[in-house]
Amino acid sequence: MAYSDKVLDHYENPRNVGTLDKNDPNVGTGMVGAPACGDVMKLMIKVNDAGIIEDAKFKTYGCGSAIASSSLVTEWLKGKTIDEAYAIKNSAIAEELALPPVKIHCSVLAEDAIKAAVADIKAKQLAKVSA
Amino acid sequence: MSASIEMPVLKDMFDENGLARDAHSADVQPIYLDYSATTPVDPRVAAKMIPYISEHFGNPASRSHPYGWTAEKAVENAREEVAKLVGADPREIVWTSGATESNNLAIKGAANFYSEKGKHIITITTEHKAVIDPVRELERQGFTATYLDPEPNGLIDLEKFKAAIRPDTVLASVMFVNNEIGVIQDITAIGNICRENGIIFHVDAAQATGKVEIDLEKLPVDLMSFCAHKTYGPKGIGALYVRRKPRIRIEAQMHGGGHERGMRSGTLATHQIVGMGEAFKLAREEMVLENSRIRKLRDKLLHGLETMEEVYVNGDLEHRVPHNLNISFNYVEGESLIMAVKGIAVSSGSACTSASLEPSYVLRALGRSDELAHSSIRFSIGRFTTEEDIDYTINLMKSKIDKLRELSPLWEMFKDGIDLSKVQWAAH
């Protein structure tokens, strides 16, 4: 499998590996994929009161492209509003990493992880408002 | 083995601090631990072959001049050496292009010849594709086949084998040593069952020569496949043992000049045959010493890797050649594992060039989960493996597995005591 230098760089030096406190009301968690399918991504975002993503962490069980896709989106997410985050498309991830066609699903999974984390933080905010 | 022989690659694998160096750059060759895929040609073998490429170029079938006689003599010497390693009569050895051809000739040749006796074949799900596919081809031609699953340790349950026998069973094929997990089947016991039931017994021994003792004078085996390139000989040459007493007949699959007593036509590749003969001679002379040295290295590797949590050896450890160690590393994904261990040349249970996940069918037949089958690595050790190679490998595996687990949400969940089988995964 010939990977691009960008994939190899993220794979060798993944950015923002780790976890945030999932009980923090300002932290949203998205976990997508399944072990039997060969990849599981966990993405956590910390959002401040202005709705800006202050921090993002990930852990990924998956191939080099899956690791690179999730590492890349943690870089992209920081400083974005949750609506901007929600608008990130898998095609942008695939293009940035020059993913081969058989690895496009890794970028889809990363997009799904963002959407799941945003949905989680929105649900938490809604719960806060109604509480 | 002589100390003057060295693997011609593999230098500078450690940096000045004694730490394992990554072999991503092309200037450093990874450490070769894939001897079950193929072995380098022993330099002593290569030296014997060279004159038969150049000055002794004659056709061994040429009976009318010394060029032919010299080549024929070399071929017959080699035939004797191959026969000697496996306790056969030289007249029972038929040259082929390798184990795949030997398996095809044995399975299709015997099934075709004896098809009046019955059209049922028994084999094992963990056989090499060079056995499975000829049997599938025979099914297409009207034969029926039973593919037996081995036990979780990779070995055949003899009672299950007996139960698979039918009145029309004509042929059984069971490999001596498995290529992925290195387990050694009880060929004597299976062969005796076949004898009692009048079934022709074929054994693929491609992975067995030089690793286990083979004595066909005693073994109840009718047909046995060999190749040179797993035993430090050249690629492109193999042999099929065809028993003379009681005599086994096979139908030729290659028709031409009637070479090899009509069983396999085609001009003999003298230099390749000389190489196989020399390789098998060295195996006979050195296997006892070599295997004890390799066993020490394998055990060192095993003990080094076993210090990690959640590692699983695939296949029985006792009934196994010392050259093989097949291990699954839980909670790391197969392809990222292969990317991580570029400093060593090994085989994996994962097909990482494909979008679809195709874990090893051998490990799946043992009942391993897809995840564990994917995250497996086959280390195979051989003549030129050194203790330094093993030390490097242990350090490399530990650091890379640690790194990948640090990245793995599954590992984190496992450490938090979460039962992963109870998690509702968001499938995609």
pLDDT digits (tens, 9 = 90+) for B348-357: 876 544 445 5
User: Residue B324: enclosing H or E segment and its boundaries?
Assistant: strand B324-329
The arithmetic mean of pLDDT across residues B78-97, rounded, is: 98
**pLDDT over threshold 80, residue B204:** yes
Q: Cα angle vertex A110, ends A107, A113, to 5°?
A: 155
ipTM score assigned to the predicted complex:
0.94
In whole angstroms, what is the distance from residue B426 CA to residue B27 CA? 43
Which chain A residues have a beta carbon less than 8 Å from that of B339? 11, 63-64
Q: Does A116 touch chain B (CB under 8 A)?
A: yes
Q: Cα angle vertex B118, ends B112, B122, to 5°?
A: 85
Would you state the pLDDT for residue A1?
Answer: 56
Pairing of strands B144-148, B120-124: parallel
% chain B with pLDDT above 70: 91
Q: Does A59 touch chain B (CB under 8 A)?
A: yes
**Beta carbons of A108 and B428 less than 8 Å apart:** yes
The arithmetic mean of pLDDT across residues B37-60, rounded, is: 97
Tally of CB atoms within 10 A around B375 = 31
Q: Does A90 touch chain B (CB under 8 A)?
A: no
Which chain A residues have a beta carbon less than 8 Å from that of B374? 38
Would you state the pLDDT for residue B350?
Answer: 63
Say whether A63 is catalytic.
no
Would you state the pLDDT for residue B13?
Answer: 46
Would you state the pLDDT for residue B428?
Answer: 52
**Beta carbons of B426 and A34 less than 8 Å apart:** yes
SS3 for A91? helix
In whole angstroms, what is the distance from residue B273 CA to residue B75 CA? 6
Which position among A94, A99, A106, A110 bears the catalytic label?
Answer: A106
List the structure tokens of B70: 């010299």
**Beta carbons of B427 and A34 less than 8 Å apart:** yes
Task: Report the Cα B37 to chain-centroid distance in Å.
Answer: 7
In whole angstroms, what is the distance from residue B355 CA to residue B335 CA? 11
Burial of B6 (0-12, 13-18, 19+ CB in 10 A): exposed
Work out the mean pLDDT of chain B and round it to a whole number: 92
Q: What are phi and psi of B183, to 5 degrees?
A: -75, 145
pTM summary value: 0.90
Would you state the pLDDT for residue B27?
Answer: 58
Q: Where are the alpha helices (DSSP H) in B41-151?
A: 43-49, 66-86, 99-113, 129-140
Strand order in the sheet with B324-329: B311-313, B324-329, B376-380, B347-348
